[in-house]
Chain A
Amino acid sequence: MRSAVATEASERAPSPRGDALGDATTVRIASVKKSYGDLEAIREVSCDVADGEFLSVLGPSGCGKSTLLMMIAGLIAPSAGEIRVKDAKVVGPRREVGVVFQSPVLLPWRTVRKNVLFPIELMKLPRSQFVPRAMELLRMAKIEEFAELLPRQLSGGMRQRVAICRALVHDPSILLMDEPFSALDAITRDEMGVELLRIWQANRKTVIFVTHSIREAAFLSDRVLVMGRRPATIIDELAIDLPRPRHIAMTEDEAFNRYVRHLRKAIEASHAG
């Protein structure tokens, strides 16, 4: 296991300057709760994410996993507890973070290249410095030749690749992905998973990947957190000890399927309870 779940995080007395995190921990989620009035979206979640780790949060829809991700992104404030990224409390969107959403959310009036450079503009970074990086990312995502096309001229899978390039363009150390492949067909989806791992391997970002697909979580991750619906909290955790780089053929292996079975059981248990 690459990193332990910090279940006792809330019991640690934080120093006035804030808890100093170890080198290995990039994201610390400490006793985070979220409720909207009477509605409890997240009961209590604590977890540490190691630097360079590929972590999946697996759960049925409506279990609050997207809410958790949006809190890490700094878009939603927790009702209680705190989230720290690189030892700084998250109070809003941060430069170290790149986000890929469920839909590509590209700007239809911008070409692929300009969509990828959009974060650079918003963050007022030196554009000339990042143009080569944008092109490099497009090349890596195998969509370089579409750089000057408009989003409507691309397929769904291509658009999501653009969105991944955009999330990486400012070189964030953490990549947050909110069910990024759920709108794609099964074949494209497998392909995108492999592509994502390839890009991840080349960049070594910390990835927090939210999904409701058991196979996807098992195939991509170093570690999977399973979230239940009632209560909306982490009900299981599983380290995926499969070799990397991973190939789609591995999903036929018994080792892989053991992980899938384990995760499915965990999810079914949450439904029963």
Chain B
Amino acid sequence: MRDDIRRHAAALGWPVLVTVLLLLAWEIAVRTLGIRWIILPPPSAVFEVMVTRYDLLLTHLWPSLYLTVLGFVLSVIGGIFVAVLITYSSIVRKGFYPVIVVSQVIPKISIAPLFIVWFGTGTMSSLLLAFLIAFFPMTINAAMGFASVDEDIHRMARTFMGSRWQIFWKVRMPNALPYIFGGMKISITLAIIGVIVSEFVASQEGIGYLIKLAGGLLDTPLMMAAIAVLSISGLALYAIIAGAESWAIYWQPPLETAGAPGG
């Protein structure tokens, strides 16, 4: 356990050092070159805003986070449900699955204004956009996971008289977990994008609204503070999923190099 922590700490050391150096270079560059803060505030100014105006930031962060998580959870449930249909219904697999895949070419962000027309400027539009954008990678990953069961394992379970239901829960589901978590990691970052874009288009609250508002007021430090808070939240959500993943998929050997978290 202690070894584990030490290894993680060692893995984190270099990226953290690079980040600190970059921030430092940014700070020095802004101050020595005399760049106006409206264009580019130094990190210290952004940090100061995060501390002094934290209640404003949090007021706008919560609705965004809430909608992100809700949209994400719905996309996970919906995605797995549709993936099960794809796995077990040849009509869905042959008819709907290709349509779902091809519909991926629609840039879903572009639908945001349409959702405003349909569902108004409230939370519904944000939630639906988050759901819609997060739903596809979830569905496709889960469907791939359910389908990727080794033919021999399937045959083995059948010789021991496993029913379809048993094979689903005891074989397909655990087998699909790595795929499902992979989908979840993509979906959570997409859900954030969906909510923020929707808040950009039309909203009275949320961190997307605050970013747009601060931009309108030329309050660049506030804008960057909002972006920073959003990024940290995204990172935290991603870390929660990654943590749940390594707990749930205990049978896979730990990877030497963990993938870079997005967010």
Contact with B along A98-131 (1 / 0, CB 8 A): 0101110101110000000011011100000000
Q: Which of A93, A102, A107, A170 contacts B174 (CB 8 A)?
A: A107
A105-B153, A109-B251 given as contacts; is B170 within 8 A of A93 (CB)?
no
Contact partners of A108 in chain B: CB under 8 A: 251-252
Q: Are B251 and A99 in contact (CB under 8 A)?
A: no
**Is residue B148 contacting chain A, with contact meaning CB distance below 8 A?**
no
When chains A and B are docked, how far (Å) is the Cα of A101 from the Cα of B154? 12
A121-B170, A122-B162 given as contacts; is B251 within 8 A of A75 (CB)?
no
**Is residue B118 contacting chain A, with contact meaning CB distance below 8 A?**
no
When chains A and B are docked, how far (Å) is the Cα of A97 from the Cα of B150? 22
A107-B171, A109-B250, A122-B170 given as contacts; is B156 within 8 A of A101 (CB)?
yes
Task: Please give me the residue from chain A that is nearest to B251 by CB atom.
Answer: A109
Q: Are B170 and A103 in contact (CB under 8 A)?
A: no
Q: Are A93 and B251 in contact (CB under 8 A)?
A: no
Output the residue of B161, B166, B253 with the most chain A CB within 10 A: B161
**Is residue B160 contacting chain A, with contact meaning CB distance below 8 A?**
yes
Q: Are B153 and A75 in contact (CB under 8 A)?
A: no
Nearest Cβ on chain B to A123's Cβ, whole angstroms: 5
Chain B contributes a number of interface residues (CB within 8 A of A) equal to: 21
Contact partners of B152 in chain A: CB under 8 A: 101-103, 105
Q: Are A99 and B156 in contact (CB under 8 A)?
A: yes
Contact partners of A75 in chain B: CB under 8 A: 155, 158-159
Nearest Cβ on chain A to B172's Cβ, whole angstroms: 11
**Is residue A138 contacting chain B, with contact meaning CB distance below 8 A?**
no
Contact partners of A95 in chain B: CB under 8 A: 161
Task: Please give me the residue from chain A that is nearest to B248 by CB atom.
Answer: A109
Nearest Cβ on chain B to A205's Cβ, whole angstroms: 15
Q: Are B153 and A122 in contact (CB under 8 A)?
A: no
A101-B155, A107-B153, A122-B166 given as contacts; is B253 within 8 A of A93 (CB)?
no
Contact partners of B160 in chain A: CB under 8 A: 93, 99, 118-119, 122-123, 170
Q: Are B159 and A74 in contact (CB under 8 A)?
A: yes
When chains A and B are docked, how far (Å) is the Cα of A81 from the Cα of B253? 48
Task: Please give me the residue from chain B that is nearest to A103 by CB atom.
Answer: B152
Q: Are B155 and A122 in contact (CB under 8 A)?
A: no
Nearest Cβ on chain B to A206's Cβ, whole angstroms: 16
Contact partners of A105 in chain B: CB under 8 A: 150, 152-153, 155-156
Contact partners of B251 in chain A: CB under 8 A: 108-109, 150, 152
**Is residue A73 contacting chain B, with contact meaning CB distance below 8 A?**
yes
Q: Are A73 and B156 in contact (CB under 8 A)?
A: no
Q: Are B253 and A152 in contact (CB under 8 A)?
A: yes
**Is residue B92 contacting chain A, with contact meaning CB distance below 8 A?**
no
Nearest Cβ on chain A to B33's Cβ, whole angstroms: 55
Contact partners of B171 in chain A: CB under 8 A: 107
Q: Are B150 and A99 in contact (CB under 8 A)?
A: no
Nearest Cβ on chain A to B81's Cβ, whole angstroms: 23
Nearest Cβ on chain B to A214's Cβ, whole angstroms: 25
Contact with A along B141-165 (1 / 0, CB 8 A): 0000000001011011111111100
Please report which residues of chain B, range 221-250, place their CB below 8 angstroms from some CB of chain A when the two chains form the complex.
249-250
Q: Are B159 and A73 in contact (CB under 8 A)?
A: yes
Contact partners of B162 in chain A: CB under 8 A: 122
Nearest Cβ on chain A to B150's Cβ, whole angstroms: 7
Task: Please give me the residue from chain A that is nearest to B174 by CB atom.
Answer: A109
Task: Please give me the residue from chain A that is nearest to B153 by CB atom.
Answer: A105
When chains A and B are docked, how far (Å) is the Cα of A81 from the Cα of B257? 56
What are 26 A-B residue pairs whose CB atoms fall within 8 Å in the complex? A75-B158, A93-B158, A93-B159, A93-B160, A94-B161, A95-B161, A99-B156, A101-B155, A102-B152, A103-B152, A105-B150, A105-B152, A105-B155, A107-B153, A107-B171, A107-B174, A109-B250, A121-B166, A122-B157, A122-B163, A122-B166, A122-B170, A123-B160, A123-B161, A152-B251, A152-B253
